[in-house]
Structure 1
Amino acid sequence: MKFSVEVMTVPVRDVDRALRFYVDQVGFALDVDYSPNESFRVVQLTPPGSSCSIQIGKGITDAPVGSLRGAYLVVTDLETAHRHLLGRGVQVSDIRHKMPIGAWDGGFAPGLDPARGDYASFADFVDPDGNSWVLQERGYRAA
């Protein structure tokens, strides 16, 4: 048996504003924008390189607007992703890493993990509706 997470619903108030944010600023690809009537619209977006998409829309969830918390976007180069998002107008937190290294107890220190270890460096951003995302570095390889 195989289980696969393929779509997450992100509750938003203004579908068009959210669509512009995720496509124009964050860089997700638009897969589907379907609205057969006034009470239903589904917009599916996929982060570059991901096999899991998000859906925003009207009539697709009863979750409170902005209630998604801490969804992870895993990137291979957090420093580059951070710079890219800032350049596109996304307000991204400063980068931080787990501390102490090797015996993490829930604390953080500023900047990238010195060894660029998997799952050790993070940054955050919030969409216009208050849904929060965590950027996490995994698979970094120095060029």
Structure 2
Amino acid sequence: MEYTLEVIGVPVSDLDRAKEFYESKCGFHVDLDGDVMPGVRLIQLTPPGSGCSIMLSIGIWETSPGPTPEPGSLQGLQLCVPDIKQAHAELTARGLDVSEPVQYAEQDGATFMYFTDPDGNGWSVQEYRVRAGTPLREAIGP
């Protein structure tokens, strides 16, 4: 049985502000925006080219087991791109406050840049050049 990671919940304090940020500044596609149950609005957005989406919601956390995450408490979300300089140019042109790319080592996969959403949820963008021509499954093997 294969399992795919499809949606990651991102805790935010203001749904409309977060939707505007992810759609306008990050370029994510809005897949869904609506009430999914009484008192629960859900917004699902997908980064261009990604098979995994993010879910923004206020009220959904109370319907699942475990603690309710605080807005801004999610850190370590990671996007991968084949060309970090191009991604930096696109994101800054959209008005996103993203750090300059930092190369930590020479090998592919060791260059990153960083940003946060309006609540402080932390993101990194990793350059992984092999993905430009090789799908992930082929790049990393079985």
TM superposition score normalised by structure 1: 0.82
Aligned positions of 1:35-54 closer than 5 A: 35=35, 39-54=39-54
Q: Secondary structure at the match of 2:42?
A: strand
Higher helix share: 2
Give 1:42 deviation, angstroms: 0.5
Distance 2:25 2:124 in 1: 16
Superposed CA deviations along residues 93-117 of structure 1, whole A, max 9, x for unmatched, are 1210114x4xxxxxxxxxxxxxxx4
Partner of 1:74: 80
Q: Identity percentage over the alignment?
A: 44
Q: Say whether the 8 Å CA contact 2:36–2:42 is kept in structure 1.
A: no
Q: Structure 1 stretches of 5 or more lacking a match?
A: 102-116
Q: What do you get for the CA RMSD once the two structures are aligned?
A: 1.5
Aligned positions of 1:7-86 closer than 5 A: 7-35=7-35, 39-61=39-61, 62-86=68-92
TM superposition score normalised by structure 2: 0.82
In the alignment, structure 1 residue 88 sits paired with structure 2 residue 94 = yes
Superposed CA deviations along residues 1-56 of structure 1, whole A, max 9, x for unmatched, are 11110000000000000000000110000000011566211000000000000000
Give 1:139 deviation, angstroms: 2.4
What is the number of residues matched between the two proteins?
Answer: 125
Distance 2:94 2:83 in 1: 17
Question: Which one-letter code corresponds to 2:126 in the other structure?
Answer: Q
